Amino acid sequence: MKLNKYIDHTLLKATATKKDVIKLCEEAKEYNFFSVCINSCYVTLAKKHLQGSDVKVCSVIGFPLGAMSTEAKVFETKQALKDGADEIDMVMNIGFLKSKDFDAVWKDIEAVKNEMPNNVLKVILETCYLEELEIIKASELAIQSGADFIKTSTGFGAGGATINDVKLMKKVAESYNTKIKASGGIRDYKTALEFINLGVERLGVSSGIAIMNGEQSESDY
């Protein structure tokens, strides 16, 4: 198994500098990770430094709260794609979900997917804030609105990916042939393998190098 191709090599902290992003890209090329996952302001920079490699650029949208207007998410998506993003990880509007305004949730996601019919859209559910029934409903809404992946976490919430949450997501995703990305708190090879064995097809980690080297990382994401 080529574990490196499961990894979105991630750097999303507010203090990330241009130098940090360039280093991330160099590491991604060295280990041949699937992508780098970055904030949208750095898409142009990452694209430039990944030129000539197979590593894709993944931009987060509406990050990390998911609580901005749909129009803002759509605009950020358009700009990220224009700057060269290959994939988009958008945060679901969690407050709308908890308000049971399911129409608003799916319209929010659908509006973003409409901007990118040929690109991969991952929708972040932020499972640490959801009850089990909400995780199931959020998964259904995201998938029915066009998500190619459903993703557990931003890494900025109260908790990251758990085996139980992924199992709940998997039950829904299997019916639709949708993929799952686990992120948040995956810091070592053993944990990464546990999620892959569950059927997860992508890992969002800032500890990709430690995972590949069989080490334990202290990183939060």
Catalytic residue, candidates 56, 73, 137, 181 = 181
Q: Give per-residue pLDDT as tens, 154-169.
A: 999 999 999 999 999 9
CA dihedral 116, 52, 196, 164 (to 10 degrees): -40
Q: Which helix (H) or strand (E) holds 38?
A: strand 35-39
Catalytic residue, candidates 113, 122, 137, 151 = 151
**Is 151 designated active site?**
yes
Catalytic residue, candidates 8, 83, 89, 108 = 89
**Is 48 designated active site?**
no
Read off the pLDDT band of 216 (50, 70, 90). Answer: confident
**Domain 3-212: CATH superfamily, name plus number:** Aldolase class I (3.20.20.70)
Q: Give per-residue pLDDT as tens, 68-111.
A: 999 999 999 999 999 999 999 999 999 999 999 999 999 999 99
200, two tokens: 């997860």
Compute CA distances 65 → 158, 161, 179, whole Å. 12, 17, 22
**Is 165 designated active site?**
no
Q: What pLDDT is recorded for position 17?
A: 98
pTM: 0.97
Say which residue, 1 or 16, is predicted with more confidence: 16
pLDDT value at 49 more than 60 = yes
Read off the pLDDT band of 214 (50, 70, 90). Answer: confident
Read off the pLDDT band of 217 (50, 70, 90). Answer: low
